[in-house]
Structure 1
């Protein structure tokens, strides 16, 4: 049985408790000179106590009966659950001073479809027709480039650059387009993150992640987790448009309407259904065939889903985008669009209000940065997992991965993944929880040295060895795009609605597909299969952002942009982006080679190593001998988009072939 080599700090008792314990004698002596109590006095005392208890119980019974009748009259159809968490045992900064009471109108969920979380993203069947390795598309230019999930959208981004737009303009224009072509994974009904590296070398991180509604409560999904995945309660307050508008006001050059015009035209006049969208429509046919909004835009006249090459039209969505182009994001958050969205969410048992939309504000945060082999890595701070990227790279930096035995290097990378995911359990929304000390640890090369000494080259270990404090919350979905312009501005943008088609809600009036990011929060008191409780740092609270595994990044070399990287694919985002970076920097591969290379994934829980089909058999066998439990990682489960600025100034953009994307450059 494995014994953790990194010991946990001993839990300290609160100071007032410690002082009481210190002042308590170890043994209590009985004073023999105390006066004795007569039998008659004892009888009187006992009788008085008995009468007092009977009176108190009678009063309590009458009082509770009245309260119960009043409560039933006021809260008919409401379910009440009490949650009373303990004090801050783990130093997370989360201390709930008052108990929470759930008084939401909770639907039974009997009529909701069951969500197969793993199958929703197992696109392996789509790729299993080919036995060939991944062959990603690439483009070269000297002025600018965009790498995205769809060729049309990448070209729309480059057209914005050609018209004099900045990398931010191109990123927004591309992302709006992706929300049309790949509406199952992103769109204006969701949220995301944007890392921007400016031409002057400064950088910023815009957080437009969804937030929990004002009426949200920690235990709202305790009895039915499906409600966090499908229906109105699953919807977090969307942040995408306000995030884009903020970035545009700060760094855009083209008009706001210019960024939306290409997608408006495509949505109104028609766009070609891509291979990936056709596959998702076929898979989700049952759930969308009778759903408002979806059936009107994704089904043929005979009721079958649209197929690859069919022309799709979304006129209502085009009208919505036109209003946003004319009036800005305010019409989405306060105007007629907001009213329609809120009405539809409430119709589906949701709790988002007009006040929720009006109050939404994106946040400009400091980027997280660190060095790796002489490069500067710029990424997002929590609630993303950018600092975990830094922690893993700090662990690996002292190894010579290219020179060492390939099996040993792969093993060390996997072990670093496992230690990294263990650290991720401490993260959360920095506006709600105190995580500064954890971030400092994750960025510390000294701490990485301590962790590295606990990596054993001859074998792996059980999950307990890596000391996860809490359950590891999985997340899903997303789309990513990377942009570089001629002035050296770079944007790494990740957008998401979470599971396929988010909450399975499309407002039929506005055409907006709504996210289900409430599913990214954790629910108290529910242990996982390994006996770990969820992290208090990721519990639901009003206006709080859930934790994300996104890790958009920009890499500098000698003060200039060298790489822009990011990925889509839930928990595999972190490991996939890291492997592309390692393949490029440590193993000297071109960006296309780095993205095409077969990948591995380990997130500690479950304790299994996932390998893509074309992973070298010799390394696969070697890892198995070191004790790794190996399973298959389906292609298409994580997709990387990257841009590489070569030493001679040539810009190379690569879109991962796992999702049939294509880049554009000029």
Structure 2
């Protein structure tokens, strides 16, 4: 039986790590968690439940990536990234203002989450599809307590909620926004999940749900057709890591959907030891530089949101998955017929008409193309065995968070919990500002760097800015490979948002 525990725990057989205690509790009674091989079972059930419990961040209206590895070492990636509609074009956003590009029906890409989950289940699942969808349907229909995080996001989106009668009926049923601890029910979404449980993904993409989505959108926009080193307390360590991240940020904007743009040369260069060594030599321990120094040619991606889960079962099958609808509540358009909030992932494409820096050609909009993403679910192996599983929520800042957790654990030799809990820093390249965590969590944990470290970073030329709230949330699982505890799984859920692992 899966048991929710503190943010870090050790288990011998299996673990699941996510950012919601209520979901950890769900696995106590879920048949998907009792001694069965993980494969796609827990991944499907957990992701659909997360889409209900976190409607501002994830759901059927979005997409993501699944990385699955069997106990035999065979790995497979399921690309659930949203796709541009058939009528999309490179210049489609050229005459829109920033708000119209970010929050409008034009910002909606074709959702990919359900197709990815269903395909993964068909290949790896042991339990029936219906049994895995049912828990999410029950949550949506019976209701659940609004979390602190969701309450805050609802408050931030108050004007959007109150401006739409359908959305207001759900999130402010009596004319006042629901608050933390009150019950939220998503009846239309429950009906949609019931239909999906019965008929699979075909009804979503080709059946009545697909037609309902298209009808809902075209009522607003007629143009759209049907959806076809010793602690991060030393400034030098922070400085070197930030400088490396800046070079990586510049390089990544040469990437794009490989089905539309040849990125083979760029990828080969990025993962070569020679490139790493050359970049290492370029890092100056005494100072930082302006963005052009790092080879930046294009405007940076600015993706948002996301949810992440890590799962390892008793046979050491692994699933690590990140999902998203992009910014909070996505396009801010909820399909009245289905109760689904639709993504705004079209905002993740680059556009030629950027006023500050040109957009990256490899990431221009094209029909049926997938935009660049920062999502980074990862599995690390040693000697043919799983050593660690990691992933993060946090949009553009995901690579920063994942790299720091791995550096903390594997290089600085911090315990797994400390590797996740250590304060983090972030850099977007543009603007040329180093964000550093400096806040106390809701449970009183303090995340901050020492004044000495910050002053030394200033002397190296870094422009510092305080990150006063949670920016990223990591999930991390480590398998012990030596000693008397060999085979034990150490699971850590980022305490920044009160996450809990579960295991047995």
Q: Match of 1:456?
A: 284
1:231 and 1:349 in contact (8 A); partners too: no
Task: Give the structure 2 partner of residue 651 of structure 1.
Answer: 489
Counterpart secondary structure, 1:612: strand
Query: Residue 442 of structure 2 aligns with which residue?
Result: none
1:468 is aligned to 296
Matched, 1:245 2:131: no
CA separation of 1:405/1:644 partners in 2, compared to 1, >3 Å: closer, same or farther? closer
The separation in 1 between residues aligned to 2:185 and 2:230, in whole angstroms, is 50
Alignment of 1:549 onto 2:362: no
Given the alignment, which residue of 90, 107, 110 partners 1:234? 107
Write out per-residue CA displacement over residues 366-395 of structure 1, whole angstroms, 9 at most, x where no aligned residue.
Answer: xxxxxxxxxxxxxxxxxxxxxxxxxxxxxx
Partner of 1:296: 169
TM-score (normalizing by structure 2): 0.93
Match of 2:441 in 1: none
Structure 1 residue 559, shift from structure 2 partner: 1.5
Deviations along 1:520-545, one digit per CA (max 9) or x if unpaired, are: 111113242xxx31111111110000
8 Å CA contact 1:418, 1:602 repeated in 2: yes
Distance 1:237 1:403 in 2: 43
CA gap of 1:350–1:547, structure 2 versus 1, over 3 A, is farther
Correspondences of 1:410-421 after superposition (within 5 Å): 410-421=238-249
Task: Say whether 1:153 aligns with 2:23.
Answer: yes
Moved more, 266-275 or 545-554: 266-275
Select 1:259's aligned residue among 125, 132, 138: 132
Q: 2: distance between equivalents of 1:243 and 1:582? A: 31
Q: Tell me whether 1:409 sits opposite 2:246 in the alignment.
A: no
CA distance in 2, matches of 1:420, 1:514: 31
| Native 8 Å contact 2:38 2:318 kept in 1 | no
Structure 1 residues not aligned, in runs of 5+: 1-134, 358-400
> What's the CA shift string for 1:563-617, capped at 9, x where partnerless?
1111111111110011011111011112211111000111221111111111122
Query: Secondary structure at the residue paired with 1:247?
Result: helix
| Structure of higher CA gyration radius | 1
1:537 aligned residue: 362
**Is it true that 1:489 corresponds to 2:362 in the alignment?**
no
Aligned mates of 1:323, 1:269 — CA distance in 2: 17
Question: How is 1:23-102 mapped onto 2 (pairs within 5 angstroms)?
Answer: none
Cα separation, 2, equivalents of 1:280 and 1:351 = 31
Q: Deviations over 1:64-97 (max 9, x none)?
A: xxxxxxxxxxxxxxxxxxxxxxxxxxxxxxxxxx
The structural deviation recorded for 1:184 is 0.1
Distance 1:350 1:138, change over 3 A: farther
The alpha-carbon deviation at position 142 of structure 1 amounts to: 2.0
Conserved in 2, the CA contact under 8 Å of 1:233 and 1:351? no
1:562 aligns with 2:400: no
From 468, 471, 474, give the equivalent of 1:640: 474
The CA distance in 2 between the partners of 1:209 and 1:618, in whole Å, is 42
Match of 1:326, SS state, is: helix
Whole-angstrom distance in 2 between the partners of 1:148 and 1:248: 20
- CA distance in 2 between counterparts of 1:218 and 1:201 reads 40
2:179 corresponds, among 294, 299, 307, to 307
Look up the SS of the partner of 1:491 in the other structure. Answer: strand
Contact 2:351 2:358 in 1 (8 A): no
Superposed CA offset, 1:39-84 (max 9, x none): xxxxxxxxxxxxxxxxxxxxxxxxxxxxxxxxxxxxxxxxxxxxxx
C-alpha contact 1:161 1:485 (8 A) present in aligned 2:
no
1:5 corresponding residue in structure 2: none
Instruction: Give the number of aligned pairs.
Output: 484
- Matched residue, 2:94: 222
**Cα distance in 2, alignment partners of residues 350 and 205 from structure 1:** 35
1:203 to 49, 55, 75: 75
In the TM superposition, 1:5-16 aligns within 5 A as: none
Partner of 1:618: 452
Q: Is the 8 A contact 1:270 1:311 kept in 2?
A: yes
**Residue among 220, 232, 250 paired with 1:422:** 250
With normalisation by structure 1, the TM-score equals 0.71
Instruction: Write the distance in 1 (CA, Å) between the matches of 2:249 and 2:399.
Output: 9
CA contact under 8 A between 1:232 and 1:350: conserved in structure 2? no
Seen in structure 2, the aligned counterparts of structure 1 residues 270 and 203 have a Cα distance that, compared at 3 Å, is same
CA distance in structure 2 between the aligned counterparts of 1:344 and 1:138, rounded to whole angstroms: 44
Q: Where in structure 2 are the equivalents of 1:334-345 lying within 5 Å?
A: 334-345=206-217
| Separation in structure 2 between the aligned mates of residue 534 and residue 583 of structure 1, nearest angstrom | 34
Q: State whether residues 185 and 497 of structure 1, in contact with CA within 8 Å, keep that contact through their aligned partners in structure 2.
A: yes
Aligned twin of 1:479: 307
- Given that 2:299 and 2:354 are in contact with CA atoms closer than 8 Å, whether structure 1 keeps it comes out as no
Describe the SS at the equivalent of 1:216. Answer: coil
CA gap of 1:197–1:147, structure 2 versus 1, over 3 A, is same
Report the Cα offset of residue 157 of structure 1.
Answer: 4.9
Name the counterpart of 1:665: 503
Match of 2:424 in 1: 599
Conserved in 1, the CA contact under 8 Å of 2:331 and 2:342?
A: yes
SS in structure 1 opposite 2:88?
A: coil
- What per-residue deviation string (whole Å, max 9, x for no partner) do you get for residues 79-128 of structure 1? xxxxxxxxxxxxxxxxxxxxxxxxxxxxxxxxxxxxxxxxxxxxxxxxxx
Asked if structure 1 preserves the Cα contact closer than 8 Å seen for 2:37 and 2:317, the reply is no
Tell me how far 1:140 sits from its aligned partner.
3.2
Change (3 A) 1:494 1:404: closer
1:580 to 401, 405, 409: 405
Cα distance in structure 2, aligned partners of 1:136 and 1:541: 46
Relative contact order, higher structure (CA 8 A, sep 6+): 2
Aligned residue in 1 for 2:196: 324
